[in-house]
Structure 1
Amino acid sequence: MTVRAGWLLPNGQTREDTRLAPLGTMAPESAVTSRDGVIAGGDPLKATGVAAMQVQISTGRALVQGTTAQGAYPVAVTSPETLTVGDGNAQYTRIDSVVLKVYDGLYDTSEQTAVAVEIVQGAANATPSPPTLPSACLRLWDITVPAGASAGTGGITWESALADRRRYTAAYGGIIPRGWGLSFAGAYPGQYRDNGAGLDRWDGTAWQPLEPSVGWTAVTLASGFTNNGNAQGTVRYRRITIAGVPFLQLRGGVSWATSGSIPNSGNLLAAVLPANCRPAALTSLPIAAGGVDIKLDAQTSGQLRLISSSGVTTWAALSGVQYPLDA
């Protein structure tokens, strides 16, 4: 048996079943249901086209949730499973789904006690959609089956036909890995998930990014200043959070025409920084400039000002500047 489940067989599971199935308390979705999904590790339950109309699902482990009364089934696929896709409809495309399906005659009408990797066929349509799945069924992949597809007509182009629908789960308290679909709600305040670029924390109402990935915004320089001073690029800024403290980061460089004479009384910006990017108090930082070290004043008004001594030439660098915004 290469597809097996824990807590399913009426006569009990074997010791090998117990060792292979992902037993334990998994991430909840409600008071008594668990978040079903694939258990991360390698590339579990990966789909690969192996013939014109055949797809192979690799080994892996997962949790399949049934009804609330039914509970969840830990499942292990211990050897690759090869499935045959039915021929395409004569007129329309359809979308089939590769699933992990638990059959439990105590809760369904199958009169079986089994678990399988199988294909649920979708309806052929001018605008096809994946099939609706029953309880105790976990979607892994969608397969677009073109009209007329068959082994005799060349079959399925697997590179474009397969759509990854694996979503992931984790043990209770673990971080849920990034998978297909981020539109699920958290189950309890303090739950974490990987959003693909960082971590989100569920606050009871919404997912809140811990340290969101924030892009850079170019400033508008005052008259007399140009970007790329000392070949350091355009002056840009971004607001980030470090250990719960808001910071502003700067990068790039500025230049001006006349050595020793900084334009506009040193005020760099024609348009000051937005309110949430201004420090609570005047913040002064040493920066590099042509000829000497000078000072950058980050003002509460949102203006950035260069303060220099004699000897400065025609450029100043802002790369690496970072300062807190809180009091």
Structure 2
Amino acid sequence: MNLRSSWVAEIGQTREDTRLTQVGVTTMTNPVQVRSGILPGSYEGLHRMAGFWTFGSAAMSATVSEGRAVIQGEISQGAYPVTMPTSTVVTLAPGNAQYNRIDLIVLRIYDGLYDSSTTNSAKVEVIQGAAEQNPKVPLVPARCLPLYEVLVPAGASAGNGGIPWNTALKDLRTPVVSLGGILPVEGPVLPGAYPGQYQDAGGALQRWDGGAWVSYPQALGGILPSSASATPASYIGQYRDSTNGKLQRWDGSAWVPVVQGPYLVDNTDYGDTTSTTWTSTLLGRATNPLTLSFVAPPSRTIAVSFGARMKSNSADHYAFMALKLTRDTTVVGDLDDEYATIAASPHLVSASTTRRFTGLLAGQTYTFTAFFRIIANTTNLKAGFDNTFIKVDPLP
């Protein structure tokens, strides 16, 4: 088998062995030991990790692809770098007549200094599990790196179709990188070794803060992209780009829009009034009054526009529309002729007004209510209103 390792054979290590297997320090787990794992990389950069990729190549045999790996021994044994420059084939024993079993395909180091082996070597081999009604994964020996689990069905053999490789293999490979490198996460997410270590977790760059992996945008105070919108928030005041394209802020319990609104309400029913005092009810309308609630933005400032198609049945009489602003039961902006929308025409004309409000309480809910009247109604004329609307725009 063309699987090479350095610092195992007592004699006969070649320069080629040394060149192929020296990978340097890999992902640390503590000041002395490193993770066991596969070095990432693939042909043409198409995949994170192609080393030791395994696929079924015959009824009871699998091909294990070329690759490089590091296998950590006990703390006093050091790490064993291995390289397999060409693929190899492993064959599994036929299945039990009654029960399924789980086998492991592994990289294994035999070192006579620490075990009973008579030859110091590195091997790709199969560890056979026990056939049981509920089969378990076999125990992994020391200096052994699992690559794949293989579910061997009861009765599987070369003569009856063998192992269904498309569903039988479970990938156990995990990557390792040089010290300070960004680890591409495959398989289980393991704790970091030191604050400031980085890993790429499925497209999100993360930093180990000493107790948890923190996504890169969170650590910097940047804006989480919409692709990571499911990532939990880390602190009050964090921002994210939501999936609906609106910037949101974490308030401690929920993601809320950074800028609320704009807000709009309208009523397309025609209604009229003969009242010379302010009224919020128009005769002939199915729905009264016309109201619009909004949340005051952090700037505490909004612009409100309102208007209608209006008439007064006479050029000598005026139709008025104005807004009252309230917060709960408190009147914040009362009705005022100076800020009203006014029209004097026997025909419907379009009229609107925009007004700025400032000094609001950020985060509080306010309500605009539309009021109407006619001045002066000496001949009992009516002021008519159609297509009435209120629109609130938060200002920066």
> Is the structural similarity TM-score above 0.5?
yes
Cα 1:20/1:234, change in 2 over 3 Å: closer
In the TM superposition, 1:22-101 aligns within 5 A as 22-42=22-42, 43-101=50-108
Identify which of 297, 301, 305 aligns with 2:363. 301
Q: Within the alignment, does 1:208 sit opposite 2:214 as a pair? A: yes
Whole-angstrom CA distance in 2 between matches of 1:105 and 1:185: 32
Indicate the residue corresponding to 1:222 in structure 2: none
Q: CA deviation at 1:251?
A: 11
Whole-angstrom CA distance in 2 between matches of 1:82 and 1:317: 69
Q: CA deviation at 1:66?
A: 1.0
Name the count of aligned residue pairs.
Answer: 280
Whole-angstrom CA distance in 1 between matches of 2:260 and 2:300: 17
SS at match of 2:57: strand
Whole-angstrom CA distance in 2 between matches of 1:304 and 1:114: 77
Paired-residue identity, %: 38
RMSD across aligned C-alpha pairs, in angstroms?
A: 4.2
Q: CA deviation at 1:26?
A: 1.2
Whole-angstrom CA distance in 2 between matches of 1:156 and 1:14: 38
Whole-angstrom CA distance in 1 between matches of 2:58 and 2:260: 52
Answer with 80-89 or 125-134: which moved more.
125-134
Identify which of 182, 188, 202 aligns with 1:181. 188
Whole-angstrom CA distance in 2 between matches of 1:180 and 1:30: 20
SS at match of 1:105: coil
Q: TM-score, normalised by structure 1?
A: 0.71
Q: Is the 8 A contact 2:294 2:367 kept in 1?
A: yes
Q: TM-score, normalised by structure 2?
A: 0.60
Tell me, which stretches of 5 or more residues in structure 1 are unaligned?
217-232, 241-245, 270-278, 287-293, 307-311
Q: Is the 8 A contact 2:264 2:389 kept in 1?
A: no
Alpha-carbon displacement from aligned partner over 1:50-72 (angstroms, at most 9, x marks no partner): 11111001111110111111110
Q: Within the alignment, does 1:169 sit opposite 2:176 as a pair? A: yes
Q: Is the 8 A contact 1:95 1:144 kept in 2?
A: yes
Cα 1:236/1:254, change in 2 over 3 Å: farther
Alpha-carbon displacement from aligned partner over 1:89-139 (angstroms, at most 9, x marks no partner): 111111111111011111111122100111111111222221111111001
Whole-angstrom CA distance in 2 between matches of 1:118 and 1:23: 23
Indicate the residue corresponding to 1:132 in structure 2: 139
Q: Is the 8 A contact 1:235 1:250 kept in 2?
A: no
Give the counterpart letter for 1:208 in structure 2.
V
Q: Is the 8 A contact 2:38 2:69 kept in 1?
A: yes
Whole-angstrom CA distance in 2 between matches of 1:305 and 1:193: 49
Q: Within the alignment, does 1:198 sit opposite 2:176 as a pair? A: no
Q: Is the 8 A contact 2:261 2:393 kept in 1?
A: yes
